[in-house]
Amino acid sequence: MAEIKTVDEKNFASTIASGNVLIDFWAPWCSYCRIVGTVIDQSINSMPENLIIGKVNVDDNAELAAKYNITTLPTLILFKDGKEISRHGTVSKAELLRIVADL
């Protein structure tokens, strides 16, 4: 099962440095972010075991959000060994599983 962890400016670089990491940039006031959070929770058992899912609260990590040019919420960024390989907005469970299927 994939692992979900809270990510912030202190541990972001080390979190994405190696392996497959899906970062969810979200905010507590964002209704679509809550939807995507539910989609992630419902999909966790079907995701690759080698996937780490990081959740970044943009209200608490504004500099990190600015660094990655997060202009809409939610924004999901898939990293492989520290390199961004895809970026997505609101997704369904089927779309999310397709995004991570080849990891």
Q: What residues act catalytically? A: 30, 33
- Distance, in Å, from the CA atom of 56 to the CA atom of 34, rounded to the nearest integer, reads 13
54 near 87, Cβ under 8 Å? no
* Residue 47 Cα distances to 30, 56, 65, 83, angstroms: 24, 19, 25, 20
